[in-house]
Amino acid sequence: MLPLLADYVEAITVDLGGPSAVSAMQARTAELAMLARGCTLLVMAQATQQGTGIAGARRSVQGRRGDLVQRKSEADLASVLSKFMSVELTALRALGLERRPREVPSLRAYLAARAETPDSPEGT
């Protein structure tokens, strides 16, 4: 999981303009987003490993850690997952990274571009 998370921070850094363009606070915020992402992946892995879903019936899962028995219901897992995902999203928004729809050409422009392509069936 660590290489995946390292790639995550690297991708954020590239999106922000590269290492030379990222301030120290932006780097820390990217690390916070990475930690939240890692925690999200761990919660999902725990739910999968224990054979529970994240949503659905209110079953409980037990995990034994020393003498302490912890019971986490699916609602608890969903709540924890939601919190980590929210932290990640908040950090990404603080960095100015949001989902932006890509520009889609008009149908006319798309068809004109297809007609100009030599290997296009419509261009012959």
Q: What confidence tens digit (pLDDT) does each residue in 29-66 have?
A: 999 999 999 999 998 888 887 776 665 434 444 555 55
User: Does residue 120 register a pLDDT over 90?
Assistant: no
pLDDT at residue 124, as a whole number: 45
Hey, what's the torsion of the CAs at 107, 109, 110, 111, to 10 degrees? 80
Tell me which residue of 103, 75, 86 sits closest to 32, measured CA to CA: 86
Tell me which residue of 3, 108, 52, 23 sits closest to 13, measured CA to CA: 23
Which are the contacts of 94, defined by CB distance < 8 A and separation ≥ 6?
A: 29
Please compute the mean of the pLDDT values over residues 64-92 and round it to a whole number: 76
